[in-house]
């Protein structure tokens, strides 16, 4: 059974987090959320029991950012959701930056959506095709081949644009981990309106 780690912080866009996590679970992917702390005193970080999303929904993480449960030896996919403040916290965290490089190096997938794509820059990923929310385009454009596609797959890096592309982003991750048939099996009972382009 494939396994995924979805990061979560105060200010994470809760639709992007929830759509990705829920869709992966529907596909049978063992999915774990890990809280990335906002506040630290020296080596001690303060982890509240819940993360407050960008629009105020309080979500309790399954776990915390600990090497023993977060590494590429544990999961096949690492996901960085958006939300300006959440993505800033996640993408500037050195443990996360190292995790991203380790996942890519181990041949595992890394998904980034919305402002979460800033993590590609912050973790020094090489120049490649990528997309993001338009609000952070200017920060990414000099260092990547910027695309306006809803979902961009570049080797093991999968990027996307915002809450409105979260379903095709999550379904693309399902397809990469579990195959095209599973993607169809998961999408059908969600009842997308006729004409939905994914």
Residues that bind a second copy (CB under 8 A): 13-15, 18-19, 21-23, 25-26, 31, 33, 50, 53-60, 62, 133-135, 150, 161-165, 167-168, 187, 189-198
Cβ distance to a second copy smaller for residue 25 or 67: 25
Report which secondary-structure segment, H or E, holds 26. Answer: helix 14-26
Residues 78, 131: Cα–Cα separation, whole Å? 17
Q: How far is the CB of 24 from a second copy (least distance, A)?
A: 9
Q: How far is the CB of 18 from a second copy (least distance, A)?
A: 4
Q: How far is the CB of 80 from a second copy (least distance, A)?
A: 17
Cβ distance to a second copy smaller for residue 2 or 150: 150
Whole-number Cα distances in Å, 159 to 14, 57, 109? 17, 24, 11
Cβ contact 5:34 at 8 Å: yes
Strands 63-64 and 77-80: what pairing? unpaired
Structure tokens at 31: 């999915």
Cβ distance to a second copy smaller for residue 123 or 132: 132
Please name the residues in contact with 93: beta carbons below 8 A apart, sequence gap of 6 or more: 36, 65
Q: Which positions are annotated as active-site residues?
A: 16, 114, 133
């Amino acid at each position: 059974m494939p396994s995924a780690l979805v990061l979560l912080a105060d200010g994470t866009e809760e639709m992007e987090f929830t759509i990705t996590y829920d869709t992966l679970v529907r596909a049978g992917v063992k999915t774990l959320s890990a809280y990335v702390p906002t506040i630290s005193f020296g080596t001690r970080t303060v982890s509240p029991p819940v993360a407050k999303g960008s629009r105020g929904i309080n979500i309790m993480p399954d776990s915390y950012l600990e090497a023993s449960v977060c590494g590429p030896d544990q999961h096949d996919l690492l996901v960085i959701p958006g939300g300006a403040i959440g993505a800033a916290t996640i993408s500037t965290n050195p443990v996360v930056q190292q995790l991203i490089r380790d996942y890519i190096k181990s041949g595992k997938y890394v998904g980034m959506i919305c402002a979460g794509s800033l993590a590609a820059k912050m973790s020094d990923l090489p120049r490649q095709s990528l997309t993001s929310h338009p609000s952070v385009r200017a920060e990414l454009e000099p260092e990547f081949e910027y695309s306006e596609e809803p979902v961009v797959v570049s080797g093991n890096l999968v990027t996307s644009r915002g809450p409105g592309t979260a379903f095709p982003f999550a379904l693309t991750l399902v397809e990469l981990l579990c195959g095209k048939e599973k993607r169809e099996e998961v999408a059908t009972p969600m009842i997308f309106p006729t004409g939905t382009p994914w």
